[in-house]
Amino acid sequence: MKAALVLCCLALFVALHAADYVCNPNSDNKPDCTNATNQGVKIRNFFDPTRYWWCNSSNVAVGVPCELQLANGTVQPRGFDVKVGDCVEWDQWQWSPCCP
């Protein structure tokens, strides 16, 4: 009986832990910046392909635009490609599912 109770508690713990890490395509994918794995990593913004998330030094997620400053002072928007992990020109950008 004790073994069944322990197994039930373990299953509940695993289910609750897994629920925190499930990909939600209906969210903007804003990261939890208190999690060390999100520090120093460009994270895809599900709602805007011209931006990515970045955890700043204050542990706050900020939306960073993918822009290229041109010599004439204008700004050229680019897209964030999750496969490359960085901003790319639109002719190189490829859509990929939010939750593979």
pTM of the model: 0.75
Query: Among candidates 100, 82, 99, which has minimal Cα distance to 24?
Result: 99
Residue 77, token pair as written in the block = 């928007």
Reply yes or no on whether the pLDDT at 86 is more than 80: yes
Reply yes or no on whether the pLDDT at 17 is more than 70: no
Residue 43, token pair as written in the block = 């994270």
When the pLDDT of each residue in the chain is averaged and rounded to a whole number, the result is 85
- Each residue's pLDDT tens digit, 42-79: 999 999 999 999 999 999 999 999 999 999 999 999 99
Q: How high is the pLDDT of residue 19?
A: 46
DSSP, collapsed to helix, strand or coil, labels residue 36 as helix
Distance between CA atoms of 11 and 45, rounded to whole angstroms?
32
Q: How high is the pLDDT of residue 2?
A: 63
Yes or no: say if 27 and 61 are a contact pair by the CB < 8 Å rule.
no
Yes or no: say if 65 and 51 are a contact pair by the CB < 8 Å rule.
yes
